[in-house]
Amino acid sequence: MTIAPREEVEEFVRATFRSVWALELLCLLRNNRDRSLSHREMVDALRASDFVVSRSLDNLSAMGLVSRDEDGSARYSPARGDADRLVALTEDLYGKSPNAVRRIIALAANPGLAAFADAFRLRKDDK
């Protein structure tokens, strides 16, 4: 069974990102793939805290998407062959539908939130 590209990207987003910060950081690193970025450069570019950047880097490193140096710098370096394609598709979807991608990340990180939101969804009566 073939998965549609949008579904594949949504599954990748759910499995990969624990926060929108992590996605933003990965996009930053991918757009600077020709070099490593220092921790300070990442914090400044994202206007994020040291903690947010460190936590996002931990997640992205564990997923095999970035490599880190001892000095705290990081570089985009997807380990899997299809990872760069999925990251590119994710970045494209995020550019076109940022709220949809944010929602996917938020619901994946907070499963109880999805159940709560579903409780308020209007449903058609089955007649």
Give the Cα separation of 83 and 64 in Å (integer).
9
Residue 73 lies in a domain: yes
Q: Hey, what are 113's tokens?
A: 């939130």
Domain at 12, CATH number: 1.10.10.10
Give the Cα separation of 11 and 28 in Å (integer).
21
Question: Is pLDDT of 114 > 70?
Answer: no
Query: What would the pLDDT profile of 13-60 be if each residue is shown by its tens digit?
Result: 999 999 999 999 999 999 999 999 999 999 999 999 999 999 999 999
Residue 10 lies in a domain: yes
Query: What would the pLDDT profile of 64-93 be if each residue is shown by its tens digit?
Result: 999 999 999 999 999 988 999 999 999 999
Q: Hey, what are 65's tokens?
A: 């998407």
Residue 58 is predicted with a pLDDT of 97
Q: Hey, what are 32's tokens?
A: 């600077």
Give how many domains the chain has, as a whole number: 1
Q: Hey, what are 62's tokens?
A: 């564990």
Residue 125 lies in a domain: no
Give the Cα separation of 49 and 117 in Å (integer).
29
Question: Is pLDDT of 118 > 90?
Answer: no
The DSSP output letter for 75 is: E
- Domain assignment of residue 61, given as a range: 5-119
